[in-house]
Chain A
């Protein structure tokens, strides 16, 4: 398929080159449309969020109030921190102007006059790349006051995070942007009513926004025919772990997982068998190697297979992988990143990690497997944000699909005579 988000054009990140290939044409077109027509186009395209929840983007935009005395805000989520995910970084590198153009179009559609692009602090180098592109876009009048003489004005501000996975959660991101600790907020109220600084706010992922110029340029009908019917469009899939050529690949949604592994990522080193695949970042449910046959990278197919698209960060594990080490490391991550507001998550993630360490040492107890499941079940659904669920799902799925791995590491008990 022709690549749109990460095109194979040298120096595409340079404004002149981007313009030569039609760049900012979508913005020009959007500015001749009514804002609600722009939203309608995105809605009809069936674009779904690429940040993990697959929520319909156009529908989200319609939640923003039309009549309000308060300023409205757009937050673009570039906090990309889900283990196995490294796609937004590619957009900053290869196609920063699509992100900027998409941001301005989104602002126009929703009547927003300030957008904050929140990028994880570790990406300092990539923030500078995007800042350069943004400065160039300002200089050409694509961002700022009276954009291209349309009378519409909006500003884009880059905001650097400081190392906290939780700030990728939309309400934590808003608190972080306000200069607070990244604590998720209780919903409702939802961001479209009461978001950052108490004002109507929409939060979209970097990749989601980068799809917007394409939709405006080519039209919703064209876009909605790419890939899976209910989850269409190009998608950036990160493939890492035991593959010969790890990387980010732009494919149409609905690509076979096996094609992503064997055709795009060059297969498994030493032609080993695949033991397990995490399809969409560390929080998505792990699949057995033999179960990925015929499964596709789209919301419906992965749901049917018992997992989810997440951030499309696939981690491949070969037949020699110690899965107990993998799940212990994942549990440690969620324990480290829990913000500590909700007891089930604050305590539960630590308990999961401690018990899993016993299995890692070959010192599990026979009752520990059920105990792990019990703790995970009591975290899931009982917390303010989805980090609790994200900590529970990998453990639940690992036990359900690889129970034998745990059983092998139960300490033999001496039978009392």
Chain B
């Protein structure tokens, strides 16, 4: 399930921790980077790799919001609507995104291009309102800038 290169990475990772269970979060990150999401088959595979029950891995994957147990769109738009962003107009940013992508938060677009999520504070309150696409933060947004950004994504 994991590529040989990624299996090598897992081996290196395990040396950083006194137990193999402790490598679970970083190993899940590797799996998700490889596949875009974490399937049941992958969880079972990782269970064999780290000697952990499937139930434990499922529990961890579903506890943390950044692990996806369903396939995601090509672009995952995460928009913060917490207080600092809300005070500076995140409603309008979310509306713009919903309109452009044709989906509500928590949904994937039918063409597989977009996943939109409403997220909690991303630690970008000084650049509110903001959204993130993958690891990239886009701050100090206006509806116009948001529209421009989304239109540039092919």
Contacts and interface: CB of A to CB of B under 8 A. Distances in A.
A166 to B, nearest CB: 9
Nearest to A239: B126
Interface in A317-362: 317, 321, 325-326, 329-330, 333, 336-337, 339
B49 interface: no
Helix, strand, loop or mixed for chain A's interface?
A: mixed
B125 A84 contact: yes
A80 to B, nearest CB: 5
Interface residues of B, number: 42
B83 interface: yes
A282 B123 CA distance: 12
A282 to B, nearest CB: 6
Interface string B104-143: 0000000000000000111111111000101111000000
A404 to B, nearest CB: 20
B120 A241 contact: no
Given A157-B16, A313-B125, A181 B83 contact: no
A190 to B, nearest CB: 20
B123 A123 contact: yes
B139 to A, nearest CB: 10
A289 interface: no
A177 interface: yes
Nearest to B27: A179
Interface string A176-202: 111111100000000000000100000
Given A71-B18, A159-B26, A248-B126, A336 B120 contact: yes
Given A83-B121, A125-B136, A157-B16, A241 B88 contact: yes
A317 B87 contact: yes
A85 B18 CA distance: 32
A83 B120 contact: yes
A179 B22 contact: yes
A71 to B, nearest CB: 7
